[in-house]
Amino acid sequence: MSDTHRPAFLLDAQRELLANVETATQLLVWIQAESTKADAPVEVQEDLKRIHQAMDALHDRVRQLPTDWDPTGDPEAMRKLASHIRHDLITPVGQWIGFCEWMLEETEPEWLSRLESDLRNLLDAARQVKARIERIMQGRIEATPSLALPPKLPATAAETPRYERPPVAPGRILAVDDNPLNCQVLERFLGRLGHCVVAVESGELALTRVRSEPFDLILLDILMPGLNGFEVLERLKSDPQLRYLPVIMITAIDDLDSVAACIRAGAEDYLPKPFKPDLLEARVGACLEKKRLRDREVDFLLQIQREKDRYNQLLLSMLPEPIVAELKQTETVLPRRYEHVAVLFADIVGFTRYCDRFPPEEVVPLLKNIVAEFERAALSVGVQKIKTVGDAFVAVAGLLAPVRNPVRACVEFGEKMLAIAQQLPPHWQLRIGIHCGSLVAGLLGTRYDLFDVWGDTVNTAARIESNGQPGAIILSKDAWEWIANEADGQPLGSVVLKGKGEFLLMKCDRLHPLPDAPTVRS
């Protein structure tokens, strides 16, 4: 390394060491607080205090590192200065390591079982700091932006405020940091607040976990090997399934441009390292609350959509689809006259007597079942159900949807109805009457809307059905002319229909297959 880069190099080295020491100190402060609360033996608390004192000494000496290196200075003097700096830094680190090893060997088993994991984390952190010092003294450090020095942490556990669980429901948090000690700090502190913290050490692992598990918040380090925090953030916000998951960036960078870039990319907030408990608690709580508010909003919108879908289904069960569409668009349905509409009336023979003989608990399910089958059959041949009146079924063809031959469609439907009635218990017989002509259709009622048809064509079809034969499809002469070349039938002669006079009626025996329809061979 050239001497011209020494000032920036030492400033970066100072920043790197301070960040690591302060993170470890923060973890130790919480360990001391928990040990005091648990009434740990005096020896344990004194040993923890000695580790803390070693950390404080190292912290002070790192802050006092000379960053005004003079590249024109005497090389021998610079060498001696480097040796002196190394001695000043390695001494407290050695004490830190020594006290941790002492506690692991000498602490009573009861308390060692509680502290062993934390002590080993502190020991690993001390060894990492020592290795960093050796690399720094050899002139090896990754170049990172120069930062203002963070404030010194409280020296003792007694000076650290005690935090109670905040008035926010616990959340599931993903902590992403390549420094295991930082993850340990986040897990310990946020766990005390009631949150569930899952820690990963790379951006790649973070993306894998967040796509396979639900999380309420991500704490994302910016400077990481592999995928850095910016790249992970961009991928999260470009994923439609994850873009609304709140992200708090964790950074030791005081560069406002980097922070602003994170916010512009979609981060909710940022946290500086080392973590300040009150700030960490406040920002995590605020983000979780915003996430829950948005989740409630999404749930509410989904509930509205479900209710809207139920309303639409209810409308479609009462009204034809084109009428529903017109009603939604114009908030009204104008009555209209339609030409060449075939009307079918069907009635169950002897239904009134059947109702008198059997209880309603038995009759209604049977009627409901056969009507449901009639409705499915009507859809299959392009016939539209209008209504049921008791055991009477009213349907039309050629009203709202065009069909090639409305009368043939009604006859096909009638044949299906006769077959269904014979197949389903109690094997009722039907009378079916069909007429074709003009009619008026519209929406009736204000509280209970009903799409209905009326006019002479409708009345005539009803009269034909009531004068029909069980198990037969009866048509008026006008309706028969629509299928005369497509069906076999026989005249029934003139019949006096109530209010209509004499009508020539025809019985349809069978329909001919259409030329383009496949022939079924027995």
d(CA 220, CA 347): 72
H/E stretch holding 47 reads helix 42-63
Distances in whole angstroms, Cα of residue 209 to Cα of each of 195, 213, 436: 17, 6, 66
Model pLDDT, residue 448: 63
Exposed, middle or buried: residue 483 (CB in 10 Å: 0-12, 13-18, 19+)?
buried
- Cβ proximity of 479 and 432 under 8 Å: no
Query: What confidence score (pLDDT) does residue 16 get?
Result: 77
**pLDDT average, residue stretch 72-80:** 62
Rounded distance, CA 21 to CA 153, Å? 10
Rounded to the nearest integer, the mean pLDDT of the chain is 83
User: What residues are paired with 441 via a beta bridge?
Assistant: 336, 453
Coil, strand or helix at 122? helix
Provide, rounded to the nearest whole percent, the portion of the chain with pLDDT above 90.
Answer: 41
Q: Is pLDDT of 29 > 80?
A: yes
**Within 10 Å of residue 315's Cβ, how many Cβ atoms?**
17
178, two tokens: 């390549």
Residues with Cβ < 8 Å from 32, sequence gap 6 or more?
45, 48, 49, 52, 156, 157
Closest listed residue to residue 15, CA positions, set 146, 119, 167: 146
Residue with the larger pLDDT of the pair 207 and 6: 207
Can you name the residues that pair with 454 across neighbouring β-strands? 440
pLDDT for residue 42: 86
Structural domains in the chain, CATH included, are 3-137 (1.20.120), 163-295 (3.40.50.2300), 335-511 (3.30.70.1230)
**pLDDT the model gives residue 407:** 97
pLDDT digits (tens, 9 = 90+) for 88-122: 788 888 888 888 888 888 888 888 888 888 888 88
Secondary structure string (H, E, C) spanning 58-117: HHHHHHCCCCCCCCCCCHHHHHHHHHHHHHHHHHHHHHHHHHHHHHHHHCCHHHHHHHHH
**Could you read off the pLDDT of 135-155 as tens digits, one per residue?**
776 655 443 333 333 333 344
Instruction: Please give the pLDDT value at position 77.
Output: 63
Opening angle at CA 71, ends 70 and 76, nearest 5: 85
What's the one-letter identity of residue 283?
A: R
Residue 470 is classified by DSSP as T
pLDDT by residue (tens digit) across 421-451?
A: 999 999 999 999 999 999 999 887 766 668 8
Residue 7's pLDDT band, with cuts at 50, 70 and 90, is low
Residues 6+ apart with CB under 8 A from 206: 174, 176, 200, 218, 220, 232
Residue 102: exposed, middle, or buried by beta-carbon count in 10 A (0-12, 13-18, 19+)?
middle
pLDDT in tens, 400-414: 889 999 999 999 999
253-282 mean pLDDT: 81
pLDDT of residue 63: 81
**Cα separation of 144 and 9, whole Å?**
9
Residues 6+ apart with CB under 8 A from 294: 244
Would you say residue 260 has pLDDT above 70?
Answer: yes
Length of the chain: 522
Supply the pLDDT for residue 131.
82
CA distance linking residue 169 with residue 438, whole number of Å: 66
* pLDDT higher than 50, residue 157: no
Alpha-carbon distance 34 to 117, whole Å? 14
